[in-house]
Amino acid sequence: MGTATLYEELKRKLADVVPDFELRLKAELAEEILRLKEERNAVILGHNYMEPALFHSVPDFTGDSLGLCRRAAETDKERIVFCGVRFMAETAKIINPHKTVLLPAAEAGCSLAASITAEDVRALKARHPGVPVVTYINTYADVKAESDYCCTSGNAAKVVEATGSDVVIFLPDEYLARNVARETGRRIVVPGPSGEDELVIDGSTKGMIGWPGRCEVHEKFTVEDVDNARKQFPDVLILAHPECSPEVVEAADFSGSTTAMIAEVHSSSASRYLLLTECSMGDNIVAENPDKEMLRMCSVRCPHMNNITLEDTLAALKYDRYEIEVPEPLRTQAARSIDRMLSIG
Ligand code: 13P
Ligand code: SF4
């Protein structure tokens, strides 16, 4: 696709959210990226939170963590450029040890991944011997290496049930854990200042042991926000990511992974929508569905996802940066939990 066609395509989708001079610049950058992508035999994976011009131009595949993990597992390209955050690119490297995996911005982290260490997991396992550990994909390789199963927001409840165990350690997102506990009818304890300490299972109940990690974006939404939005817009359909608190999820109309939220908006005929998640996703949906009325809460942004730009993506392809490395045998140990998740389906 030439620059003129790319520009027209971006204009068709984004004229309402991106000024024209910016669209021209982005189309030029995108064209150069697409040219280099072919030359370097690369695949570009783009998370649903990428900014609209990037999301709608260069990725071969867009999606949530689970969808992109599957795409990474399937690719036959030499290079994977991951337009997302570090734990996502690292996961792609763990399952593709012989490919070059690039993260366009070295500093794109995640508050959940930063909330727990491998030592924390070892201490929990020592305290609860034999209890399977289910770990959210939003973690680094050393934590995955200590875990039995990996999971994402798209399959967390299914993975917990697939362990076949009455008690499961679920790390590190406290809110996701509490939402999964409710969905699977389990009692939950979360160690730490705000949580109870011991899980008492009486034989008729199943349980989960959590960890006090939080997403710095989703923890900001409150039930008051939901109530206020409903007062102001009684016809609004509210969708919450499961990293929001259980109270917010309960007050919303729908909860699911970013891809599940997008699918719900596509299939619903509500007159307007409020997404309790990173704000770029609303722009990305509206670009493809101009008839959908989306309420914006753009003060709530993920500073990590926002690090990834078209300029950085171009530099990643040009200079092979920033290359993700996961040393052996850590990689092999971490891969077990991801392979188990992928085989659960
Ligand atoms: P999804 O897997 O639902 O896309 O979530 C990833 C994430 O980091 C949400 O904050
Ligand atoms: Fe991590 Fe939250 Fe950003 Fe997702 S939105 S990458 S969970 S900090």
Q: What is the pLDDT of residue 199?
A: 61
DSSP element (H, E) containing 79: strand 79-83
Mind listing the pLDDT tens digit for each residue in 8-37?
A: 999 999 998 889 999 999 999 999 999 999
- Write the CB contacts of 250 (distance below 8 Å, at least 6 apart in sequence): none
Instruction: Assign 201 a pLDDT band (cuts: 50, 70, 90).
Output: low
Cα gap 211→51, rounded to integer Å? 31
Q: Is the pLDDT of residue 197 over 60?
A: no
Q: Which residues are near ligand 2 (CB < 6 Å)?
A: 85, 110-112, 138, 215-217, 243, 278, 302, 304-305
Q: Is the pLDDT of residue 200 over 70?
A: no
DSSP element (H, E) containing 68: helix 65-74
Q: Indicate the class that CATH gives domain 3-110+305-319.
A: alpha beta
Instruction: Assign 267 a pLDDT band (cuts: 50, 70, 90).
Output: very high
Mind listing the pLDDT tens digit for each residue in 145-186?
A: 999 999 999 999 999 999 999 999 999 999 999 999 999 999
173 C-alpha vs ligand 2 centroid, how far in Å? 11
Q: Strand, coil or helix: what is 62?
A: strand
Mind listing the pLDDT tens digit for each residue in 49-74?
A: 999 999 999 999 999 999 999 999 99
Q: Is the pLDDT of residue 343 over 60?
A: yes
| Per-residue three-class SS string for 237-299 | EEEECCCCCHHHHHHCCEECCHHHHHHHHHHCCCCEEEEECCCHHHHHHHHHCCCCCEECCCC
CATH of domain 218-294: 3.40.50.10800
- The best mutation among 51, 65, 82, 110 to test binding of ligand 2, ranked by most ligand atoms within 8 Å of the C-beta, falls on 110
Instruction: Assign 194 a pLDDT band (cuts: 50, 70, 90).
Output: low
Q: What is the pLDDT of residue 16?
A: 84
Q: What is the DSSP string of 143-190?
A: HHHT-SEEE-TTTHHHHHHHT--SEEEEESBHHHHHHHHHHHTEEEE-
Mind listing the pLDDT tens digit for each residue in 314-340?
A: 999 999 999 999 999 999 999 999 999
User: Which amino acid, residue 315?
Assistant: A
Atom of ligand 1 nearest to the CA of 305: 8
Delimit the domains of the chain by residue range: 3-110+305-319, 113-214, 218-294
204 C-alpha vs ligand 2 centroid, how far in Å? 35
Q: Which ligand is nearest to the CA of 150?
A: 1
* Residue with CA nearest ligand 1 atom 1: 64
Q: Beta-carbon neighbour count of residue 58 at 10 Å?
A: 26
Q: What is the pLDDT of residue 297?
A: 75
63 C-alpha vs ligand 2 centroid, how far in Å? 15
216 C-alpha vs ligand 2 centroid, how far in Å? 7
Q: Which residues are near ligand 1 (CB < 6 Å)?
A: 48, 64-65, 138, 152-154, 215, 241, 243, 257-258
What is the average pLDDT value for the chain, to the nearest integer?
95
CA end-to-end span of the chain: 35
* Residue with CA nearest ligand 2 atom 1: 110
* Residue with CA nearest ligand 1 atom 8: 138
Domains 3-110+305-319 and 218-294 share a fold: yes
Quickly name the fold that domain 113-214 has.
Rossmann fold (3.40.50)
* Residue with CA nearest ligand 1 atom 2: 65
Instruction: Assign 198 a pLDDT band (cuts: 50, 70, 90).
Output: low
